[in-house]
Amino acid sequence: MNQYINLTKRNCMVFLRDRGAVFFSMLTMLIVLMLMGIFLGNMNEENIVNLLKEYGGVRDALADEENAKHLVQYWTLAGILVVNAVTVTLTVTGNMVTDLHEGKLASLYSAPVSRSVIALAYITSSVFIGTLMCVLTLGIALCYIVGTGGEMLDYEMLGKILLLIILNVCIFAVIMYLAALFVKSSSAWNGIGTVVGTLVGFVGAIYLPMGNLPEGVAAVLKYIPILHGTTLMRSACCKAALSRTFTDVPAELIAEYKEYMGIQIKMGEEFVSETFQALFLAGCGIIAFIAIIVIQRKRNISDR
């Protein structure tokens, strides 16, 4: 146990001491914030206000604009939390690739430490750092939203969001470690990080809402865990804001808006439940973990 704790601590410190790694792990989040602040945020807010004008009857225009702004803020926050869960765990997992490239991993393998403990320490450090970064992001974002007039989430929703953060971080930490087993150099892993950082915003339907994507692309994304993780997070973050914004609006319109913005996902003719999405995410993580065990065992046998 001491070996596991010491290795996990060592991996965390290696990441936190590298300011460049910390910055680039958050770069995609900063890009999302910039896009939402300059371009996409106003467009999404205007879409909501126009919907309310058309279908909401007599309304308070100023209140609608304010509610729409905070709904978009919570929608953006949900996407950023999942982006962090992906990009931060990817960057922290890069410690293992760097250790392999620099020969440090071979030294660890020659020490009296089980390889499974070494692997678990790498995954745990990704989970710890990923969760820490997501919680910090959540805290800063909530302070900003409340400071600009938005309403604070209740304790039940905050608890649910924390559980979803842990779920997403754990799943993507395992998936990233599995991917890292096939990479031999830091430059190759950095290249993968660039590609993932670019695509995660599209795969999670963050840069463009689901309703703006071609049907074929949207159909494919529904089988990728990032989208389901983002949808679960949006459902929790936006629940209260949706109720305030779409007061006295037909339920059909709310359902269509949630589908358009990726707050709910429809597969076939039915909306998928949150339980299904959570199980789908967990299933992806379990499959990746089993694959890691199989690969590690094969490599242990071949190294003997």
| pLDDT tens track for 210-261 | 878 888 888 888 888 999 999 999 999 999 888 888 888 888 888 888 888 8
Q: What amino acid is encoded at 264 in this protein? A: Q
Look at residue 300 in the predicted model and tell me its pLDDT: 66
Residue 10 and residue 111 in contact, taking contact as beta carbons nearer than 8 Å? no
pLDDT at 303 over 60: no
Residue 116's Cβ-count burial label (10 Å; 0-12, 13-18, 19+) is middle
Backbone angles phi, psi at 181, to 5 degrees: -65, -20
The residue behind tokens 């065990």 is 293
| Contacts of the segment 151-155: beta carbons below 8 A, 24+ positions apart | 151/70, 151/240, 151/241, 151/244, 153/237, 153/240, 154/240
Above pLDDT 70, what percent of the chain?
89
| pLDDT tens track for 146-203 | 888 888 888 899 999 999 999 999 999 999 999 998 888 888 888 888 888 778 878 8
Backbone angles phi, psi at 270, to 5 degrees: -120, 150
What is the pTM for the complete model shown? Answer: 0.90
- 3-class secondary structure, 266: strand
Whole-number Å distance between alpha carbons of 140 and 161: 15
Backbone angles phi, psi at 271, to 5 degrees: -75, 135
The number of residues making up the chain comes to 304
Whole-number Å distance between alpha carbons of 233 and 76: 10
Whole-number Å distance between alpha carbons of 78 and 280: 19
Whole-number Å distance between alpha carbons of 41 and 132: 26
Residue 253 and residue 51 in contact, taking contact as beta carbons nearer than 8 Å? yes
Residue 197 and residue 87 in contact, taking contact as beta carbons nearer than 8 Å? yes
Residue 51 and residue 245 in contact, taking contact as beta carbons nearer than 8 Å? no
